[in-house]
Amino acid sequence: MARPSLKRYALLSIVAALATIALKGVAWWLTGSVGLLSDAAESLVNLAGALMALAMLTLAEQPADDNHAFGHGKAEYFSSAFEGFLIVVAAVAISYSAVDRLIHPRPLEALGLGLGFSAVASVINYLTARVLMTVGRQHHSITLEADAHHLMTDVWTSVGVIVGVGLAGASGWQWLDPLIAVAVAVNILGTGWRLLQRSADGLMDAALPEERRVEIAAVLEDYRRQGLEFHALRTRQAGSRAFVSVHVLVPGQWTVQRGHDWLERIEESIRQAVPGSHVTTHLEPLEDPASQSDQDLDRQEDGG
């Protein structure tokens, strides 16, 4: 069954980013806080990431064609990698602004009103992140999950900034403001790095998560108790699609039809264990020694 379009959730993220940019921008303008400026800068990253997510989700939803027989699902990894890169850039920019403010301190103004605007922006980000995370996990979309993780990071960052800037204003310790900005930079840098790592794994055809592989192994073990054998199990993730291939060894005296019927059952069982997966099986006779020579990615040839 085809996955429903997720583009409307990317549009939701864009609208939320625009709203939070406006609110946090006003908060910074009112207070002059570099901590709030760093928070607003992260929302600019959210907007760029949401725009990229919309573009890549649009591409990922294109059907398979002659040049992309396995579909366009990997386009989602470009979106999450791009967002990870933007987060790293934002962290560097925030750190630069914070160091400059440490060298050239300035008093904070209109904190109550400014922090109120920032708090409203945080609520918008929190609600949007919850929606994106729920839908992303339901439909195995790394793009929406990446966006949700980033927004939740933004929420906790904003909470820290609001508390820290409030303390700086109340205590008169102006150095607290740029130090909070540095903490924000370090926090979002970790998020960016994790997104880049996960995107690289997807583009490098990393195997399905361990829990998925355990579920597949349990399916195969059930059929193994019925007299079949398996090897060369391989899995990979491409955006929302999971790909599974396995060689099935059956008694050599079976007819092609009988073997085919068993393969159909096995493929359906795996699809039930891993919804949305594309399963490829290869039939081999148990008794033929040649059946054991193709367990690796490249078939092992006889030296003789």
Judge whether residue 69 has pLDDT over 70.
Answer: no
Summary mean pLDDT of the chain? 80
In this structure, which topology does domain 7-203 adopt according to CATH? Alpha-lytic protease prodomain-like (1.20.1510)
Of 271 and 144, more confident: 271
Alpha carbon distance 54, 48 (integer Å): 10
Instruction: Please check whether residue 40 is in contact with residue 137, taking contact to mean a CB–CB distance below 8 angstroms.
Output: no
Would you state the structure tokens that stand for residue 83, as one six-digit string? 């967002």
Scan for tokens 């922090």, then name that residue: 115
Length of the chain: 304
Please, which residues have CB within 8 angstroms of residue 215's CB and are 6 or more apart in sequence? 273, 274
Work out the pLDDT band at 159, boundaries 50, 70, 90: confident
Please, which residues have CB within 8 angstroms of residue 53's CB and are 6 or more apart in sequence? 10, 13, 79, 83, 143, 144, 146, 147
Of 94 and 135, more confident: 135
Number of helical (H) and strand (E) elements in the chain, helices listed first: 8, 3
* Phi, psi (rounded to 5 degrees) for 300: -85, 125
Please, which residues have CB within 8 angstroms of residue 175's CB and are 6 or more apart in sequence? 102, 105, 168
**C-alpha distances out from residue 173 to 53, 167, 179, 225, 269, Å:** 40, 8, 11, 70, 63
Judge whether residue 213 has pLDDT over 50.
Answer: yes
Alpha carbon distance 59, 200 (integer Å): 19
Instruction: Please check whether residue 83 is in contact with residue 45, taking contact to mean a CB–CB distance below 8 angstroms.
Output: yes
Q: Is-same-fold flag (7-203; 210-292)?
A: no
- The pLDDT score that the predictor gives to residue 53 is 78
Domain ranges of the chain: 7-203, 210-292
- Whole-model pTM? 0.60
pLDDT tens per residue, range 225-256: 998 999 989 998 776 678 899 999 999 999 99
Domain 210-292 is of which CATH architecture? 2-Layer Sandwich (3.30)
CA triple 166-154-129, angle to 5 deg: 130
- The pLDDT score that the predictor gives to residue 67 is 80
Work out the pLDDT band at 200, boundaries 50, 70, 90: confident
Alpha carbon distance 33, 111 (integer Å): 9
Alpha carbon distance 52, 83 (integer Å): 8
- The pLDDT score that the predictor gives to residue 299 is 58
DSSP 3-state of 175: coil
**What radius of gyration, in Å, describes the C-alpha atoms of the chain?**
26
